[in-house]
A and B are shown apart, each in its own frame.
Chain A
């Protein structure tokens, strides 16, 4: 490769394969809601409220959960589109934004994001070529090299450069626009790509094309993905590990087969059995849980799921359950009092 952006510290694999590419500790983001004549804070949305997780090098971590549980807020915190109120994000062991860590500008080169709305994320007045080459130019690549890279990327995402470089976003279909967004995210040669509902707006037949493309690019370029979707089938298909969120917290996290085959959190179980059946002779007979998810303004105390949980006991409303490993599987963790011996819940593994 003749043209390259000057190498930075984070281009190398710093900590070796065992060190997570991302480590998130105690991440918090609350949004104040202003109101009244004085424009004072009248309420606070606890969008993300103390979450911990790692993303291993080369894996796909799926994030699922219902609307408003904090998936997009988490994604925006990871790429620092917004700043956390507390907690830290380590990129390959380097603290982002710290003196001896990784500066934001360099981090943004390595961590890229693709959004759901393929239209809103492209500038309508730029040609496809200009959209894709914009980032590399900002980061110091020459105009000619940046154009060459745009053509190469279009080819990689399955769009013929000769047909597409001069087009504008409105001249593309939804699936084609999402391919362009993916090309644009890859233009800075990132190591990590965060895909926030990246295929959700596409028709099923086109969604399948883009999922295949994402799998190919990951293998070819050695990428790491954080894959966010409310579609449990798609997350299962794409992910090595899955994190289930509920109202700003992690309910459960673990290998994909453990989450889908042996879910431990009552919310994960409810979510999985809420999936429509694909078998006309085995339709769903009963809804797993009743009611709507509560409002993230003033969420329930203790376990946030206790207002809808069929196993809720007094301890659940009184105390926040820790995210702790499931017995016999260190990689599988769940935040439920039933998982902790001595928690005071009558159904703990130890209690009779």
Chain B
């Protein structure tokens, strides 16, 4: 197959309830090459998790309106039926979460669940599938892996459960891994171990990864490219260095300026004023305009165009100004 592994065009996700419509994702476009790692950054409610769930069709069908075009490894994701989705999930694309108990069933052992997943996607017997489960637990460096095959998820420590969830997600060698804040709940000394493990496995398996986080440092550790979301759209994208060092959009600029790091004692933090937008009442112009120090009448009334700053580096803003850090 040539061309990108993932192609997302004009993705929109609406949640309808009796009294309001939430515009969670409002026209997201991106492409991902095989083996590439995209870090997806943004504040709470900016649409990061919903974007990932749309790629796996995990949103409640009755209340969700999905539109746009999503292609992953040749599959037209938004038009797949349930049968096709079962093969697609876990086989082509896997997901890991902040809370590993979302991925595991508490009443089955870890080994059985990994073996089960392998048998669902590949034509192998139980013994071979158990063998793969053991291999995966060793691969993610769970101590005494053989014994842990028969452990229940709750019998493991937090860091170990996270490793087991990675083993489960990668057992069928997916081409794309979706990671939704998988290290946010972990201790600092454990988080860095898991980030390095993911980096290593990603290279070894040659899979593409979309890694969602709200932590700039975590995104820097794992990403080739980065995209920053605000109000359900990607407002800036580029290489990690473009987005961190040559930031052009006022929102990621503000996000970086307000992120405490290094020796900043005694200096006042440059906070972004105000609060994130109400997704049931999106403005017609730029969603960031109410909080933006540069906003003018055009910003408030006209949706901003995409400004190309360098090859692969884009910002969605009427007045992009590269601030070099």
Q: Is the CB of A280 within 8 A of B220?
A: yes
Q: In the complex, A279→B271 CA distance in Å? A: 22
Instruction: Report whether B190 and A292 are in contact in the complex, using a CB–CB cutoff of 8 Å.
Output: yes
A104 contacts partner chain B, Cβ-Cβ < 8 Å: no
Determine if B188 and A230 form an interchain contact, defined as CB atoms under 8 angstroms apart.
yes
By a CB distance below 8 angstroms, the chain B residues around A175 are 275
Q: Report whether A274 and B255 are in contact in the complex, using a CB–CB cutoff of 8 Å.
A: no
**CB neighbours of B270 from chain A (8 A):** 208
The answer on a CB contact under 8 Å between A205 and B43 is: yes
Quick one: which of A162-215 are within 8 Å of B by CB?
173-176, 203-209, 211-212, 215
Whether the pair B269, A287 counts as a contact (CB closer than 8 A) is no
A271 to B270, CA, bound (A): 27
B196 touching A284, Cβ below 8 Å: yes
Q: In the complex, what residues of B have CB within 8 A of residue A93's CB?
A: none
Q: Is the CB of A204 within 8 A of B195?
A: no
Query: With A175-B275, A256-B265 in contact, do A237 and B187 touch (Cβ < 8 Å)?
Result: no
Assign chain A's interface to a size class: 35 or more
Residue numbers in B under 8 Å from A286 (CB-CB): 196
Q: Which residues between 290 and 310 of chain A lie within 8 Å of chain B, taking CB atoms? A: 290-293, 295
Could you say which residues of chain A place their CB within 8 Å of the CB of B187?
A: 66-67, 230, 292-293
Could you give 22 example pairs across A and B, Cβ below 8 Å?
A67-B187, A174-B44, A204-B258, A204-B259, A205-B254, A206-B275, A208-B260, A208-B269, A208-B272, A209-B271, A212-B271, A232-B188, A233-B260, A237-B269, A260-B263, A275-B188, A280-B245, A284-B196, A287-B189, A291-B143, A292-B187, A293-B190
Residue of A nearest to B192 (CB): A274
The interface residues of chain A lying within 8 Å CB-to-CB of B193 are: 287, 290
Q: Does B174 contact A (CB under 8 A)?
A: no
Q: How far is the CA of A52 from the CA of B185 in the complex (A)?
A: 29
Given known contacts A175-B275, A292-B158, A276 and B189 CB-to-CB distance under 8 angstroms: no
- Which of B43, B193, B195: most chain A CB closer than 10 A? B193
B191 touches A277 (CB 8 A): no
Interface contact A276-B221, CB-CB below 8 Å:
yes
Which residues of A have CB within 8 Å of B195?
Answer: 276, 284
When distances are taken between beta carbons in the complex, the residues of chain B under 8 Å from A67 are: 158, 187
Q: Does A281 belong to the interface (CB within 8 Å)?
A: yes
A211-255: CB near B (< 8 Å → 1, else 0) gives 110010000000000000011111011000000000000000000
Residue of B whose beta carbon sits closest to that of A239: B265
The listed residue with most B CB atoms (<10 A of its CB), out of A67, A174, A205, is A205
Given A204-B214, A211-B269, A280-B240, CB of A288 within 8 Å of CB of B261: no
1/0 per residue, CB under 8 A from B, across A144-157: the answer is 00000000000000
With the chains together, A279 CA to B219 CA distance in Å? Answer: 10
Extra contacts besides A209-B272, A284-B221 (6): CB < 8 Å: A203-B43, A276-B220, A287-B189, A287-B196, A290-B193, A291-B143
CA distance A260 to B265 in the complex (A): 12
For residue B241, CB closer than 8 A to chain A, the reply is yes
> A268 to B159, alpha carbons, bound, how many Å?
20
* Residues of B close to A280: CB separation below 8 A: 220, 223, 239-241, 244-245
Would you give the shortest CB distance from A255 to chain B, in whole angstroms?
11
Task: Please report the C-alpha to C-alpha distance between residue A295 and residue B195 in the assembled complex, in whole angstroms.
Answer: 23
| Residues of chain B contacted by A277 (CB below 8 angstroms) | 217, 220-221
Q: A202 CB to closest chain B CB, in angstroms? A: 9
